[in-house]
Structure 1
Amino acid sequence: MDVTVEVVGETTHQVSIDNGATYADLLAAINYSPQEVSVLVGGSPVPEDQSVGAETVRVVRLIKGG
């Protein structure tokens, strides 16, 4: 499955994942930890252990250096 991952305010990634992959797997593919971001599908947060079921997701960083 191909998924478009938009990291809000930063970049967009095209990621190919296996069926049954979780949102944590998706984050690992773009080098983010579930502890530093929230994954949104249709504007609502999804649990990191849920299987990916959307072709487009948004990732919002919770921690930003400064």
Structure 2
Amino acid sequence: MQVTVEVKGEQTVELDVEDATYAELLERVDVSPHEASVLVDGRPVPEDQPVEAEHVTVLRLIKGG
């Protein structure tokens, strides 16, 4: 399944995933699950849930600088 992962304010990536969780998507875009929330249709989803959406937004909660 093709999934578009949008890391807000940073990048948008197309990934091909099979039987992945949202936490695994975060790993693939190099974002720690401790510093971000995954949103589907504007609502947070549990990171251990299997990916079922074709578009996912990653919202960083912590950003260094």
| TM-score, structure 2 as length reference | 0.94
Report the equivalent of 1:25: 24
Please give the root-mean-square deviation of Cα atoms over the aligned residues, in Å: 0.7
Deviations 1:10-66 (A, max 9, x none): 110111111x21001111111111101100000000000000000001000011012
User: For residues 14 and 57 of structure 2, what CA distance do their matches in structure 1 show?
Assistant: 12
SS at match of 1:49: coil
Segment drifting more, 47-56 vs 29-38: 29-38
Within 2, Cα distance between the matches of 1:17 and 1:28? 12
Report the counterpart of residue 56 of structure 1 in structure 2.
55
1:42 is the counterpart of 2:41: yes
Gaps of 5+ in 1: none
Aligned residue pairs, count:
65
Identical-residue share of aligned pairs (%):
62
Q: Secondary structure at the match of 2:23?
A: helix
Q: AA paired with 2:27?
A: A
TM-score, reference length from structure 1: 0.93
- Which 4+ stretches in 1 moved above 4 angstroms? none
